[in-house]
Structure 1
Amino acid sequence: MNRFVLQVSYFATCSCLSDRQKFPSFFRTIPNDAFQVNAMIQILKHFGWTWAGLLISDDDYGVHAARSFHSDLGPASGGCLAYTEILPSGDNPAELRRIVDVMRKSTARVVIVFSNISRMIILMKEVVRQNVTGLQWMGSEAWTSVEVLQTPQFMPYLGGTLGISIRRGEMPGLRDFLLQIRPDLHHNNTEENSMVNQFWEHTFQCRFAPPPAGWVEAGGELCTGQEVIENVENELVDVSDLRPEYNVYKAVYALAYALDDMLQCEPGRGPFSNNTCAHLQRLEPWQLVYYLEKVNFTTTFGDQVSFDENGDALPIYDIMNWEWLPDGRTKVQRVGEVKRSAFKGEELTLDEDKIFWNFESKQPPRSVCSESCPPGTRMARKKGEPEYCFDCVPCSEGKISNTTDSMECTSCPEDFWSSPQRDHCVPKKTEYLFYHEPLGICLTITSLLGTFICVVVLGIFIHHHSTPIVRANNSELSFLLLVSLKLCFLCSLLFIGRPRLWTCQLRHAAFGISFVLCVSCILVKTMVVLAVFRASKPGGESSLKWFGAVQQRGTVLVLTSIQAAICTVWLVSASPMPHKNTQYHSNKIIYECAVGSTVGFAVLLGYIGLLAVISFLFAFLAKNLPDSFNEAKLITFSMLIFCAVWVAFVPAYISSPGKYADAVEVFAILASSFGLLVALFGPKCYIILLKPEQNTKKAIMGRCTTTHQS
């Protein structure tokens, strides 16, 4: 411990001196360079400068600063270094040209320089030679307040510089003390008085006789020592901008407070071994270190002074700005401060209205590797480059980003989709066969028209039920066939509109039963035609006996009941359900009815097809039989239309997406229904309404006779 040399520095800033293992008795009142770096990082972050260049000197001052920048500046602090260059110590034009060329080509608009004044001057000469403008300079305290750079040659480039400067302070009574100093004419040989005499002769342009040793002054009046110094204004009596001196002031007061605290120690209650106190006459440096570590006071200027575990005082810096005035003069003004307090942590204060920006816009420049990614895009890092260099990639469909500089795009909820700008989610478009769209309107009108025609035809047949043409064509089956056709037309309406549970369950059941009822009636009518022909042959009367009205009704009922049973099993085992389909279009919700059981749907259609084929075969066999009204031919033609429609339906239905599948099914229902209605009842209505003279028993019998004779 006796080897300790206690030091309280006012000007040594190297971060290396904060190593307590190497320098256990070193204290300082000037902030270390690590805090200066941190202050610069806070300024970068304040103005959104995420991309900056760094120039350093190749000494401890620059190297330690570079280490701090590389460790502290990154994504967490909001920035990256575009380049780090070491300024050459000697005359090296080629290296300077290379460095300035790097600065000129870089997209970084902010340049931080951690260097002494001599290397800064050499650098600026090359900057002027290459005419590199449009840069925002940021300086360390080593050159921020140096006037030699504030010249008309450099200011077009360095104007607007933001720099870190040692804290300016005031020392009460210093100016009064300086103004009281007078030369002692009787003690010229003392070192102190010699300095005062030299100052006096320089200030008042006079000389003492004989002149002090080492002072050369030719001519001029003799100094009296009574000259009025209060009227003098020069740097030696100017106390308005004390910076290193203010740190000296704090260092002296820190020692004074430490000594005062030590002298207040009461014997037997001291901090050292056996509760002893330190004595001024035999003071050990390590004892004073103990008291210095506990110093805590506030200067008259309002700054708190205390030392941390590394011997560093609470740091504070002024932030300076170089203003280039229109008349060519330079003004270095204080625009803020950065400090660390014991309670609030680090604080940056900037008066942006006072800052001079050396740009046409008079606004802070942008210094980023890549411009911000707007909403609707995400940042994609460029391979091999720092994190702040990225491309803006648009979000893919179904994903959005609603903030600037998003790292990822987020997926929209299930029932939502991304907007065209990819910056917010919008409800997905819904698609089904709407009643109010043109296709839905056409199908609805067609369905209602078919129903209306069925009602009209039924009315015609009822009104003319006693006429020969109605009676000759099995009026009861004709009435039942018209009712079933009307149901077929109406069931098509269940396929229009948004699918619900009840419509999904009812639409196919109603469709299947209605068509089976219709085809069953046609099948029975065909069988009746065959039975009548057989009865007309000798010995064939028994065929009509076994296929009378009761048997006809029973056959229709049994055939329809089979379809009803198929539908019941289907609905109970795997009922059709409403389904939101997103397979065809990701940005749409297609509401459709899932058939539930494909087998059930296939059996339903297959049963209808089986009956239709049987009816067609029976009718085809009976088409050449003698019949006054060619009923078998009409049935054959109607069933041919029916089968053709439904054979074409299957591939069209399978290949049609969404609502178009429903439209295809409705079209098949309507087309087959109209085919049956027109083919079976068109000719009869024509005779009833337009050729009533043919609607007589005589005409019918005459036709039969003609047919038999031919």
Structure 2
Amino acid sequence: MQCQHTCFVLTADPNNCIPCKDYEWSSNRSTSCQNRTVVFLRYDQPVSIVLSLATIFSILLCGCTLVLFACHYDTPVVKSAGGKMSLLILCFLGLSSISIFFFIGRPSPTSCNLGIPTFLVFYTATMSCLTVRAFQIVSVFKMAARLPRAYEFWVKHGGQWVIVSICTITQVFLSILWMSISGPQPGQMKPNREIVLFCTLGIYYFLYAMFTLVVLLSVLCFSFSYMGTDLPKNYNEGKAVTFCLLIFFISWTLFLTLFSVLEQKYISTIIQFSIFFSVFGVLLGYFGPKCYIIIFKPERNTATYFQAAIQTYTLQTR
């Protein structure tokens, strides 16, 4: 019986095969072994260059928006966006973007462990801030008068910062637990002529738990925003939040779909695009309209304009 396996080299005797080395391959009936091609997302590949430039752009955009908000910190638009919390969100978004760089280059224990956890921790902090902000806006207009003691307790004890801290710390704890027990590690596959290097996902349960926390925050954020669709348009963030969450869900639904279909060597690229669109969705959907008002519509960024909108809303609800 002749040798048919592509990982063996045929000798003069057709019934005698010599195995190739681990990093080599051989075609059927070949008398020599050839080196496999090592495949991973290299820095000089076009897709890596595009993703790197897009990431740098998103980080710069976060920085420019942060400076813009800081320069107009005392204006109503910035205050309605959360004030200090809006600046914190921009910092979290910038840090989330950095996680894209961990998926470029040869996988290592450090890059694998810091890739997805970095994004999920800082994006969880972002979503918790957006959720708390949406809840606060609804509370001011709809709950402060009905439940004054509860609202006073929330404000007095810094409820918003407590929630953000709890959510972020929970995600950090899950990340550390995931990495310490069985987190992402460098792995490889050998489909015929290639050695595909990639990061494994370790125990999936921790990854599911981390994504579940983000999804729950997203649902809460959407719910609070929907409750405030009848608020003054300066405080009505339903459309902005819906756009952000829509981009997030589409990106990661597409990733989960392609994860089960595409070859392993393309998974890192899909993750990077999902991260980029998740971050860019918040920048464009939540901060885009506010930056537009600050730069191009300064007459709508005044206390008089906001008070008029609030008075109109008060008269309509009576």
With normalisation by structure 2, the TM-score equals: 0.91
> Is 1:477 matched up with 2:85?
yes
For 1:497, the equivalent position in structure 2 comes to 105
For 1:658, the equivalent position in structure 2 comes to 264
Question: Contact 2:187–2:200 at 8 Å: present in 1 too?
Answer: yes
- Residues 203-218 of structure 1 mapped to structure 2, 5 A cutoff: none
C-alpha distance in structure 2 between counterparts of 1:665 and 1:546, whole Å: 41
For 1:397, the equivalent position in structure 2 comes to 6
For 2:196, the equivalent position in structure 1 comes to 590
For 1:456, the equivalent position in structure 2 comes to 64
For 1:414, the equivalent position in structure 2 comes to 22
> Is 1:633 matched up with 2:239?
yes
C-alpha distance in structure 1 between counterparts of 2:213 and 2:256, whole Å: 14
For 1:645, the equivalent position in structure 2 comes to 251
Q: CA RMSD in A?
A: 2.3
> Is 1:569 matched up with 2:188?
no
Which structure dedicates a bigger proportion of its chain to strand? 1
Partner SS for 2:229: coil
* Aligned amino acid, residue 688 of structure 1: I
- State, as a whole percentage, how many aligned pairs show the same letter: 28
C-alpha distance in structure 2 between counterparts of 1:396 and 1:565, whole Å: 47
For 1:532, the equivalent position in structure 2 comes to 140
CA offset digits 1:468-507 (Å, max 9, x no partner)? 2112322111011111111111111111211101111111
C-alpha distance in structure 2 between counterparts of 1:489 and 1:498, whole Å: 19
For 1:546, the equivalent position in structure 2 comes to 153
Question: Contact 2:26–2:34 at 8 Å: present in 1 too?
Answer: yes
Partner SS for 1:547: helix
Partner SS for 1:430: strand
For 2:39, the equivalent position in structure 1 comes to 431
C-alpha distance in structure 2 between counterparts of 1:547 and 1:637, whole Å: 28
CA offset digits 1:574-602 (Å, max 9, x no partner)? 122111122xx222111111111111221
- Of 662, 681, 685, the match for 2:291: 685
Partner SS for 2:158: helix
> Is 1:676 matched up with 2:282?
yes
For residues 553 and 396 of structure 1, do their structure 2 counterparts lie closer, same or farther at Cα, with a shift above 3 Å needed? same
C-alpha distance in structure 2 between counterparts of 1:529 and 1:640, whole Å: 21
Question: Contact 1:613–1:643 at 8 Å: present in 2 too?
Answer: no
- Of 84, 96, 105, the match for 1:488: 96
C-alpha distance in structure 1 between counterparts of 2:239 and 2:173, whole Å: 32
C-alpha distance in structure 1 between counterparts of 2:144 and 2:158, whole Å: 21
C-alpha distance in structure 1 between counterparts of 2:56 and 2:99, whole Å: 10
Question: Contact 1:495–1:507 at 8 Å: present in 2 too?
Answer: yes
For 2:222, the equivalent position in structure 1 comes to 616
- Of 177, 182, 206, the match for 1:600: 206
Partner SS for 1:565: helix
Question: Contact 1:398–1:587 at 8 Å: present in 2 too?
Answer: no
C-alpha distance in structure 2 between counterparts of 1:709 and 1:641, whole Å: 36
Question: Contact 1:535–1:541 at 8 Å: present in 2 too?
Answer: yes
* Aligned amino acid, residue 532 of structure 1: V
For 2:303, the equivalent position in structure 1 comes to 697
C-alpha distance in structure 1 between counterparts of 2:48 and 2:30, whole Å: 32
* Aligned amino acid, residue 483 of structure 1: C
Shift of 1:406: 5.5
Shift of 1:557: 0.4
CA offset digits 1:281-309 (Å, max 9, x no partner)? xxxxxxxxxxxxxxxxxxxxxxxxxxxxx
* Aligned amino acid, residue 226 of structure 2: F
C-alpha distance in structure 2 between counterparts of 1:488 and 1:695, whole Å: 29
Shift of 1:708: 4.2
For residues 433 and 441 of structure 1, do their structure 2 counterparts lie closer, same or farther at Cα, with a shift above 3 Å needed? same
C-alpha distance in structure 2 between counterparts of 1:525 and 1:685, whole Å: 18
CA offset digits 1:233-263 (Å, max 9, x no partner)? xxxxxxxxxxxxxxxxxxxxxxxxxxxxxxx
C-alpha distance in structure 2 between counterparts of 1:542 and 1:632, whole Å: 27
Question: Contact 1:622–1:633 at 8 Å: present in 2 too?
Answer: no
Shift of 1:654: 2.7
* Aligned amino acid, residue 547 of structure 1: W
Larger RCO: 1 or 2 (CA < 8 Å, sep 6+): 2
For 1:236, the equivalent position in structure 2 comes to none
Structure 1: which 5+ residue stretches go unaligned? 1-379, 381-392
What is the number of residues matched between the two proteins?
315
* Aligned amino acid, residue 552 of structure 1: Q
Shift of 1:543: 4.5
C-alpha distance in structure 1 between counterparts of 2:174 and 2:144, whole Å: 38
Pick which of 425-434 and 478-487 moved more.
Answer: 425-434
* Aligned amino acid, residue 450 of structure 1: S
Shift of 1:607: 1.7
Shift of 1:449: 1.2
CA offset digits 1:375-421 (Å, max 9, x no partner)? xxxxx7xxxxxxxxxxxx786422223x6565533221111112698
State the structure with more CA Rg.
Answer: 1
Question: Contact 1:626–1:708 at 8 Å: present in 2 too?
Answer: no
Question: Contact 2:3–2:16 at 8 Å: present in 1 too?
Answer: no
CA offset digits 1:555-588 (Å, max 9, x no partner)? 1001111111111111111122111122xx2221
Partner SS for 2:260: helix
With normalisation by structure 1, the TM-score equals: 0.42
Shift of 1:451: 1.0
C-alpha distance in structure 1 between counterparts of 2:229 and 2:272, whole Å: 30
C-alpha distance in structure 2 between counterparts of 1:615 and 1:517, whole Å: 13
Question: Contact 1:531–1:547 at 8 Å: present in 2 too?
Answer: no
- Residues 84-123 of structure 1 mapped to structure 2, 5 A cutoff: none
* Aligned amino acid, residue 564 of structure 1: V
C-alpha distance in structure 1 between counterparts of 2:24 and 2:283, whole Å: 46
Question: Contact 1:623–1:636 at 8 Å: present in 2 too?
Answer: no
Question: Contact 1:535–1:544 at 8 Å: present in 2 too?
Answer: yes
For residues 613 and 578 of structure 1, do their structure 2 counterparts lie closer, same or farther at Cα, with a shift above 3 Å needed? same
- Residues 185-264 of structure 1 mapped to structure 2, 5 A cutoff: none
Which structure dedicates a bigger proportion of its chain to helix? 2
